[in-house]
Each structure stands twice: as structure tokens, then as C-alpha cells.
Chain A
């Protein structure tokens, strides 16, 4: 495979990730599939896939928020404000429906506002998953919620979702997850083989195109990377990036780290490893498998309460496994769940002797210069 082909694949991912909603719209039209949007983290997309739809994860828009400002307070996170903005601007009008997963109080309330204020009146379905995930009652509730989502999707799409169809969709999604984890392992073992911005584009693309297509593209990219001549990077500080819940991590932050003497060797970003790193069991009852995967997902989430696991310990494990020397945590402004969690995570990382920098990201503020300065001084002082 030539260098030109490798670059071509990366450019394809970049083009797909540039406007994820437009990409999903075009893919849906080309494949003759209904597109269903999913907002909020960890929505079990396999259910929508099994019903013959194209699930697309609704991410934040990459332009300033305007219309939503008349409806939503400025002290809500950029993701929910953007969700509202996109709804008002009829960006979801091509969708069959929008599923919103209740993963924090902001998205919980914006869900109802989106439902009532959107101009094109697309169907909005809310879904509640418990915050405490390890109690027997919660586990039962999560299983029931999965069954409720199956029923609602059947009614929406006018189909019956068979056990076999759901099991088959789980396999398709697992394949996409395995490919991405393979790519992550390749980066861990060969720091700098692919830039963090490129990997972010690949992660975004996988949220808006069919998983079958994404797996094939990632497989081709992995083949190209394995053939690539790679000199070991010297003199750069290996870094793990975490956070950016619900949102694509700010590319200015990723670039700033890799331009300031750092190299990102692993991440715990939602639009990154966190979206892809939990496999669903391919044996037994598929609905129960989805519930089980939700409960036992890899990496505790700040929006949930898992008494058995601490996020700080999990991040310390990623650092150890990847040989990183520092952690940069991207916190979306006004993401309260992450603010609280970060208080404990910082203490846990300090105890583990791992230097950490918290960077707050704001949707509409241009923080490029400020981020670069902070990242540079952090890496220089290590």
C-alpha cells in the first residue's frame, strides 16, 4: 500500500467527520435507511441497527450557538445548548426520530425542551438509565429499559426485532469496536504513528456511518499503518487525554499537546476509546447482553455511580498500560458530573504520582492561545 493510499484513507475520515449529521443524512439516503439520532452517552445503538435503521450519534455542532440562546441558559454545557440549537435550526429534520438518553440533569431537561421547541416536530424519545448501576434493582431497571427501547423502536419502525437480528447487530458493532481497539493498540505500541486529530476524525466517522463500512475502512487503515515505515519518536512526552464527555474533544487541545512536545499514546475520551472499548457478549439473550455491557462497561463514568470502581484508578491504569507520563483532562464547561468526578480523580492521580492538567473547554469561546500556553508550560515543567 502506498503512502498516497494511506493519506487518502485519512482524508476520507476527515471528510466524513467534518459534518457528521450531513454524512449520516447522505449515507441514509444512499442506503435507503431511516436515520435515527442518538443523543447522550452509551445509547444501545444495536437496537436501532437491528430494526434496519442507521443510528447516528448526535454530537456538538462545530459553529457558534445562536438560536438556542433564546431558550437555554448560557450556564448549561455546550453540548446541550448545541443540541437545542440544532433542533431549532431543523438539523434533525431528515431523521425518523431522535432518542435522548438521560445521562445528566441538563440533557434530561433539554430533552423535553427539544421535544416542544423544535420546528420540524420530529419524534423525540426519552430514555432513563439509573445513575447507580450496581444495585440489583438498578440492574433489573436497566434490563427493562433495554426491553422498552426495543418495543419503542419496533413501534417506530413498524418492524419486529428478532433475537437473531439483535444478536447479529451486536456482532457488527463488536467488530467495529475490535477494529478500533486494534487501532488504539497500534498507537499505544507506536507512539506518533497516527495523530490524535486523525484518530478523533476516525472515531467521529464511526458514529455517523454504518459500522460495517467503518470497520472495513479502519481495517484498511490498520493494514496501511502496519506497512508504514515508522521511526520511534524520541524526546516527546507520552500523554493520556481523558474526558470531554458527550462531545468531540477540542482539536485545538489535541494539536496543542502534540505540537508542544507531547505525543498522545492513549485516551479515555467519549468520542474515542470510551465509545468503542466495551464489547457486548455475543452469547445468550442479546437484550440481557446489552444490559450487562451497560452495567459493566469498561471505565467508570462520572455520570454514574459505580461503588466498585474509581475513575482515577482506571485512568492511572491507562497511564501505566500505555507508558504515559502525564494526563490531560478535558472538562466541558458546566459539565457538573465531570467537575465533581475530577475532584476525586485529581486526588487519585496525585496519589499515584501522575502529573495531571485540567483544561476547561467552552463551546463558543476561542481558547486556542490559552490552551497552547497552558499545555506548553505543563509539559515543559514535567
Chain B
């Protein structure tokens, strides 16, 4: 036993872990203080949100933050108790469990203060895997907030469909974001022009 304790005390802790932890804490603290927050499922076009001055975080990141502290079990159990299958991606279960706790008024009772987040004012998802869309749909069902889903085709044969697929995503950013998503942002009192400028800069850089 003594030997084991001595061994444990010699474990080298990576200093960057503590530094990153501090950065993440500040990041979520800023998001909590923000007037509006967007929950992003998957790799979303953050530049547009930044242009609008809307705080955002990735739901996967939120879940991994909880699980990195070994505090995931109550959230998973909460989601499963509401009928979410046990084999669903555990990040999704943690996040949906937290969302359910929030809307059911159990936040103060069940979620430690340092892990609390603001309810989403909108949800954006990108289907890097189709689970992302299903996960985001569940969040929209729970919070009843505006949403926008971006469909990104998977490239099996790049030579066969690259241009078409780039055009498809670009069209969604151009048409979809202006027509549907921007409306919901405008309704929150933001400057749509700034967002469009941000979007155009993004498209000029990456999509030509």
C-alpha cells in the first residue's frame, strides 16, 4: 500500500492540463455571461457566429468536459431514463441528459455550478456524421429554439463529386443562412449586415 502511494505521488502531471482547464473554464464563463448563446453540434461555421457576436460552444466539447472530470454518469442515466437508447454515443447522452435536467428545472439540484451553461438561443448542426443532425433535432425538441442544419455530403469519390458537393454546401450557407438562419438571428436583435459580411469573407476565402 505504502509503495503504491509513493508511486502515485511520483506521477508526473502534465502542466498544460491545468492550463487548458483554466482556459476552458474562462471560455464557458464567457458563454454564460453572453446575452445569446448558440449550441453547435458538429463542426459548424463559427465565423458567422463570431461575426454576429454570439457566444457558442460545441455540445461534444461540453460533454467531454463533463466526462473528463468523471462526472458523466448522472447525465447519461438521466437521458436513458427518458428513453434514449443505451448504445447512443455517450457524448450525445451526456449533453441531452444535461438539456433535459435544465428544462425540467433540476439544474440547481443536479448540475454542479461550474458545469452549468446557458440555455441555447439557437442550435446549429453539421452532419459530419448523421448522428449530429439527430442529436440536434433532440435538442431542438427539448428547448424549442430556432435551428439550422447544414448538410455536408461525404466524399467517397472526390473526383466524381467535389465541385457539386462544394456548391451544395455553399448554397446552403448562402441561401439557407440568409433566408432562414439570419432571420432567427435578426429576431434576437443582431446586425444582419455584419453577419453577411462575415459569411461573404468566409466564402470568398474557401469556396471562391
Contacts and interface: CB of A to CB of B under 8 A. Distances in A.
Nearest to B176: A135
Contact of B168 (A131, A137, A343, A360): A137
A303 B137 CA distance: 11
B27 interface: no
A79 to B, nearest CB: 14
B87 A111 contact: no
Contacts of B96: 343
B133 interface: yes
A137 B172 contact: yes
Interface stretch (B15-23, B112-120, B146-154, B196-204): B146-154
Contacts of B129: 105, 108
Contact of B151 (A104, A131, A333): A131
Interface in A133-166: 135-138, 140-141, 144, 148
B133 A305 contact: yes
Contacts of B186: none
Given A75-B87, A144-B164, A334-B87, A135 B130 contact: no
Contacts of B88: 336, 339-340
A302 interface: yes
Contact of A360 (B84, B85, B137, B151): B85
Interface in A298-316: 302-303, 305
Interface in A312-351: 331, 333-334, 336-337, 339-344, 346-347
B156 A340 contact: no
Contacts of A336: 85, 87-89, 130-131, 134
A271 B81 CA distance: 30
A358 B83 contact: yes
Contact of A128 (B135, B154, B171, B176): B154
B33 to A, nearest CB: 31
Contact of A344 (B137, B157, B160, B176): B137
A186 to B, nearest CB: 34
Given A105-B129, A136-B175, A303-B130, A343 B82 contact: yes
B141 interface: yes
Interface string A124-135: 001010111001
Interface string B156-179: 110011001000100110011000
Contacts of A131: 127, 130, 133, 149, 151
A141 B168 contact: yes
A112 B156 contact: yes
**Most chain A beta carbons < 10 A, residue from B82, B87, B133, B134:** B134
User: Size range of the interface on B?
Assistant: 20 to 34
Contacts of B141: 343-344, 347
Nearest to A129: B153
Interface residues of A, number: 39
Nearest to A77: B87
A344 B82 CA distance: 10
B130 A130 contact: no
Contacts of B137: 305, 340, 344
B188 interface: no
A343 B176 CA distance: 27
A239 B147 CA distance: 35
Contacts of A247: none
Contacts of A331: 85
Nearest to B150: A132
A341 B134 contact: yes
18 contacts: A102-B154, A105-B129, A105-B130, A112-B156, A128-B154, A131-B127, A131-B130, A131-B133, A137-B151, A137-B171, A140-B171, A333-B87, A334-B87, A340-B88, A340-B137, A341-B134, A344-B141, A358-B83
Interface of B: 82-85, 87-89, 92, 96, 127, 129-131, 133-135, 137-138, 141, 149, 151, 153-154, 156-157, 160-161, 164, 168, 171-172, 175-176
Give the top 8 A-B pairs by smallest Cβ distance, nearest first: A340-B134, A339-B85, A105-B129, A126-B156, A137-B171, A130-B151, A128-B153, A339-B88
Given A126-B157, A339-B87, 11 more contacts: A75-B87, A112-B156, A128-B156, A135-B175, A141-B164, A305-B133, A333-B87, A339-B84, A340-B88, A343-B141, A347-B83
